[in-house]
Chains A and B, each alone.
Chain A
Amino acid sequence: MKFGVIVFPGSNCDRDVAYVTRELLGSSTRMVWHQDTDISDLDVIIVPGGFSYGDYLRCGAIARFSNVMNSILDHGKQGKWVLGICNGFQILTEVGLLPGALVRNRDLHFICDRVPLKIERTDLPWTRHYTPQQVITLPIAHGEGRYYADPDTLKQLEDQQQILFRYCSATGAVNDSSNPNGSLNNIAGIVNSSGNVLGMMPHPERASDPILQATDGMALFQGLLDGVLVG
């Protein structure tokens, strides 16, 4: 089981992710420069958070044309694991591995906070170590995190249960007041129709080391490791 963490100019969560997979999870991890193209040795590709290419034009718009992206597209289309966190989620929507787009937060603020999230599905490796409808807390840090998709796409996401994480209240209520950024249907994270590509605005890697007093994100990485090994 080998992790690859993509590094763009402007990525800033790449080392946090690698710390989790390498040091906390004990898994082989390789940093992948955005100009590399051979990622055939990797099982899981993580596109980390940050501000790739300074968020110029649109978040993720320029990163999607990096050399490594064609290899990531192939990796995802072969059914292998791809995780996009924050800016990584934005990049995965820009490149078309995930539907929809992330646009400016409803209230225009850059939000840096810890928010409750509801786990909608636990039959995928990403969430197998959580329980259905469990409420967890993860950090968010974004200015453009409001999930948008056209009504047909949104219906498909709901019908095919592609929404893994929703913003909710501390008691699990999913409504407008528990929606920090105005995302449609309180969406915080979605998978593609086959479930192997996950994009999420919250940062599980920032809630994995016990020294930070927040560890709700670790189960995602551990679940992926265990789930993929089991097969």
Chain B
Amino acid sequence: MAIQFKARIYVTLRPSVLDPAGVAVQSGLHQLGYDSVEGVRIGKYIELQLSAENQTAAEAQLDQMCDRLLANPVIENYCFELDEVPALAVDR
């Protein structure tokens, strides 16, 4: 029986890619007095739900989704967290 999962996907610019938006936000934080802040990088956060036979199958699907659409491997890295969604009482 398929299990429902919730995924939290983080897409970040690869370290070699300049992130001018991150640089601008960092200078904003400095102006607010947070002088010690460094290394600001802005990425994307994506939530989705999916169902799969098990955790391994869900991870395999997510890897494919990230490689094919959600991230561009030329400029971005990704990682994700996966949680099982407890079945609702009505489904039991």
Contacts and interface: CB of A to CB of B under 8 A. Distances in A.
B17 A94 contact: no
Interface stretch (A40-48, A103-111, A114-122, A207-215): A103-111
Contacts of A105: 20
Interface stretch (A57-65, A74-82, A165-173): A57-65
B3 to A, nearest CB: 27
Chain A, interface size category, equals 20 to 34
Among B13, B16, B18, chain A packs the most CB atoms within 10 A around the CB of: B18
Contact of A182 (B18, B44, B69): B18
Contact of B74 (A57, A101, A104, A182): A101
A149 B18 contact: no
A57 B70 contact: yes
Contacts of A19: none
B16 A150 contact: yes
Contact of B21 (A61, A65, A104, A150): A104
Given A57-B70, A150-B16, A108 B75 contact: no
Contacts, number: 38
B74 A65 contact: no
Interface residues of B, number: 14
Contact of A65 (B18, B19, B69, B72): B69
Given A108-B24, A148-B75, A103 B70 contact: no
Interface string A141-152: 000001011100
B62 to A, nearest CB: 16
B20 A100 contact: no
A58 B13 CA distance: 12
Nearest to B42: A104
30 contacts: A57-B44, A57-B70, A58-B72, A61-B69, A61-B72, A65-B69, A93-B74, A94-B72, A99-B74, A100-B74, A101-B72, A101-B74, A101-B75, A103-B13, A103-B17, A103-B18, A103-B75, A104-B19, A104-B20, A105-B20, A106-B20, A107-B20, A108-B24, A146-B18, A148-B17, A148-B75, A149-B74, A150-B74, A182-B18, A182-B20
Interface of B: 13, 16-21, 24, 44, 69-70, 72, 74-75
Interface of A: 57-58, 61-62, 65, 93-94, 99-101, 103-108, 146, 148-150, 182
